[in-house]
Amino acid sequence: MEFDPAEIAYVPTTGVREAHEAPLVAASDESLKGYGCLVREPKTYPIEIVRWPAQGWRPVDQNSGNQGGVTAGLFEFWWKGETLYARNNAVGDSYLFGWSNWPEEAASGGPGRARHRALIWRANYHPDGGQLFYPLHGQSFVVPLALAGDDVRPEHFRTFWCDGSCGLYIHPNVWHGAIVPLDDHAEFLDRQSRVHARVSVDFPKEFGCYLAAPLHRLAA
């Protein structure tokens, strides 16, 4: 699959040599409480939409501020060398999400290489609605999540391992790093609020480190 690095929505922040590992846990309905849930019926699962906030004391009119609805499309992820790229066709954005080696040394082309962690430079949340990722070919993946709150820090994140048998739904305002497939390439059905507002944290710039997501399978 071809990818033009000039198309990425955000230029990564690099230049640090520290990584904070977000501990790995198995995703389950219990472990995901507060973050989201596992989803088995992705096409019909309800996506939360958050009403546009009032700017002052006058409230937003009823039956308005939440009419953007839901958009859906293919979210593609692939490793090229030691670099993780992605394209969200639901919103038309492309990304460089992270590396399996220090970015200054990471190969950015060729087949995916052996890897034991992903170094993630950025995470975000969506204040306008939830987001659903469903693996179309049953492939396992990990994703770092942290509970809502703008004072987030690397140590607030946990890496959730999903075995590929279900999708993952993330509530509005919940922080999420990159979806990271364990295979070289993965495709997901993505369903989310059409507004797609993003509030971000830049780990190298704010904390002098990358967020490290372990890349191995856990016992079922």
Mean pLDDT, residues 198-202 taken together: 97
Q: Is residue 49 predicted with pLDDT exceeding 70? A: yes
Q: How confident is the model at residue 6 (pLDDT cuts 50, 70, 90)?
A: confident
pLDDT tens per residue, range 89-100: 999 899 999 999
pLDDT score at 217: 86
Domain boundaries, the chain: 5-45+71-214
- Give 133-178 as a 3 state SS string: EEECCCCCEEEEEECCCCCCCHHHCEEEEECCCCEEEECCCCEECC
Closest CA to 113 of 215, 184, 180, 212: 184
pLDDT score at 106: 97
By the 8 A CB rule, do 215 and 22 touch?
A: no
pLDDT score at 2: 65
Average pLDDT score, the chain: 95
Mean pLDDT, residues 165-178 taken together: 97
Q: What's the fold here for domain 5-45+71-214? A: Jelly Rolls (2.60.120)
The radius of gyration of the chain from alpha carbons, rounded to an integer in Å, stands at 17
Rounded-to-integer distance, Cα 154 and Cα 208, Å:
10
Closest CA to 108 of 3, 189, 183, 214: 3
pLDDT tens per residue, range 62-118: 999 999 999 999 999 999 999 999 999 999 899 999 999 999 999 999 999 999 999
pLDDT score at 101: 98
Chain-centre distance for alpha carbon 154: 15
